[in-house]
Amino acid sequence: EAGVVQSPRYKIIEKKQPVAFWCNPISGHNTLYWYLQNLGQGPELLIRYENEEAVDDSQLPKDRFSAERLKGVDSTLKIQPAELGDSAVYLCASSYTGGSLNEQFFGPGTRLTVL
Amino acid sequence: QKEVEQNSGPLSVPEGAIASLNCTYSDRGSQSFFWYRQYSGKSPELIMFIYSNGDKEDGRFTAQLNKASQYVSLLIRDSQPSDSATYLCAVRGISGGYNKLIFGAGTRLAVHP
């Protein structure tokens, strides 16, 4: 079984430029999460989708961040314009909501560097 | 006060010793508790979960939960150099919905030969 796929793995951009990250969850997983992880910190939830609906986006900085999961499968997270403080690892995770554990499986992440 | 607190470490233990990792949480309504292991440059992977007070053992790992003290710990017996990683404590509470996990900052474990 394939895991969570993310691309690109690394991205270097200059501040004020736009950037987009893509995530394909594990097949059959209806819940998709985008997390931000700064160095030395744990993952922080940005947005959570149940199928195609964003059910928790309270931590998403909506002035510059946007996300979509149009068909309830893969998802895109966008930053426009990027700021120096956005440099971090962006993790995508997925889970199947229906089991008792609801384990979240993480993708390899995208390491963003904003210069 | 952070919702989930962990000592950042590093916790250094010799090979073969018991490593004890601790975590406290602030939401008394929290229901489920998870330990993730994260190797440097890699993504987190789930290694243990616990729902009820007491101990839960899985191989060399034991998770301990004390809801009255709002405390959860992870013991690693017979520590190996391959256990060297950051261990993230995550808590699932009532607020935010069933799927929401709150992560601590992690404790870095170093097992030396």
Nearest CA in chain B to A90: B43
Summary mean pLDDT of chain B:
93
Would you state the pLDDT for residue A2? 82
Residue range B18-28, pLDDT digits in tens: 999 999 999 88
Neighbours of A29 (CB within 10 A): 18
Residue range B50-74, pLDDT digits in tens: 999 999 999 999 999 999 999 999 9
Residues of A in contact with B101 (CB under 8 A): 45, 104
Would you state the pLDDT for residue B88? 97
Residue pair B75/B62 in contact (Cβ under 8 Å)? The answer is yes
Confidence of residue A103 (pLDDT cuts 50, 70, 90): confident
Give the distance from residue B44's alpha carbon to the nearest chain A alpha carbon, in angstroms: 6
How many angstroms separate the CA atoms of B86 and B34, rounded?
14
Q: What is the DSSP string of A51-114?
A: TTEEEE-TTS-TTTEEEE-TTSS-EEEEESS--GGG-EEEEEEEE-BTBSS---EE---EEEEE
Residue B98 has pLDDT above 70, yes or no: no
Residues of B in contact with A101 (CB under 8 A): 49
Residue range A66-87, pLDDT digits in tens: 999 988 899 999 999 999 999 9
Q: Which of A37, A38, A49, A60 to mutate to test the interface with B (most CBs of B within 10 A)?
A: A37
What's the whole-number mean pLDDT along residues A48-57?
A: 91
Confidence of residue B97 (pLDDT cuts 50, 70, 90): low
- Is the CB of B99 inside 8 Å of chain A's CB atoms? yes
Structure-token pair, residue A24: 């394909």
Confidence of residue A99 (pLDDT cuts 50, 70, 90): low
Longest dimension (CA), chain B: 43
Would you state the pLDDT for residue B2? 75
